[in-house]
Amino acid sequence: MNRADRLLALTAELRAAAPEPLPADALAARLRVSTRTVRRDLELLTHGGLPVRLERGRGYVLPPDQPPPPLTEAESLVGPVRGTLTEAVRARRVVRLVYTDQSGVRTCRDVEAHGLVTAPQAEYLVGWCRMRDGPRMFRVDRIGAAYLSGREAGLRDLDDLLAALRVPFPRTPPEEGPRGPAGAERARAWTLDRLRHVRGRLADTIAEVRTHREGAAALRAVLGHLTEWTRWQAAAVHAAAEGLPAPAFERDLPYETREQMIQDSMALRSLGELARDLEGICDDVARWAADCDDAFWDDPLPDPTDPSRRRPLADLLAGWRGPLAHIEWHLDRLTDGSPAAELDADDEGVWVVDRCPLQA
């Protein structure tokens, strides 16, 4: 080993052990040189600026690399956005973002920064949004400005946040030829996991309302809406998979008329009854998804909402406009504190769920 390589190896050994010291004879044994050579090399490195110090009786120690000086609030305003986000994650700080979402809506919000995650499409800041009081991901390229506040972020585990956000693992590229049971099992497992997650969110929302006695009327209306729609959606997917006639749902009726009929039929039912109905429907879907034939997961099925299209079973159940996404869409609006429904024009107490993605 020449001197240049030996100096590099010596530095690497000291950095790997830092902040613990290493005796000269131990370094000599690792590098297969004499103790005298090690001391001479260390003296050369010290003169070159490496901050090695000798702790008497213990050996040589290299202090760990010092973190860069923290950004000030003013520097975070004028510096690059990613630099501010990196500092916020490193220092566990709250960062104020100017963020433009996918719909072009711009908001200013405070976020507890907990991690930067690189995905195939983009890089994301993962954190706890104080405006929404929940975990959120923000595309870095949609953050127009970032300001590093002096407030500390709470202690939250990044893996827990990613799990709550349902961040998927990268999918393996499809293999050539027909997919076998392995592909079916992956799709089945993913769908059952989504069912467990939605079932848990539903139970948490109901428990929150029962504990604090707030939002019962809004939840009751949403549960009535979800019970009827989820029952029909699940039955329609089941029929498409089994090749049975699609269930009737009076689809020619205007959305508002159909929704009023649903709410009228639910008027005499309690919050607990509606909750048990919806939970039972989710349980039935889970049992069927767990036991149905592998072939249902392998080949695309007719889309009940558009017979001219075919979609995988996992997408029909857990994808956009499927029953699970529909439930989560309404739960999001309940927990975000934004109005998910409003009284009709006559103010007769009939709740019409507003802006539901299924009304189109």
- Give a three-class secondary structure readout of 114-158: EEEEECCCCEEEEEEECCCCEEEEEEHHHEEEEEEEEEECCCCCH
Q: Domains in the chain, ordered, with CATH?
A: 3-61 (1.10.10.10), 73-164 (2.30.30.520), 181-359 (1.20.120)
| Token pair listed for 249 | 């749902």
Task: Name the residue with higher pLDDT: 308 or 32.
Answer: 32
> Residue 245 and residue 258: Cα distance in Å, rounded?
21
> Chain-wide mean pLDDT for the chain?
77
Task: Name the residue with higher pLDDT: 348 or 138.
Answer: 138
What Rg, from alpha-carbon coordinates, does the chain have? 29
Over residues 85-103, mean pLDDT: 86
pLDDT tier at 77 (50, 70, 90 boundaries)? low
Q: What is the pTM of this model?
A: 0.47
Over residues 207-227, mean pLDDT: 81
Over residues 14-39, mean pLDDT: 87
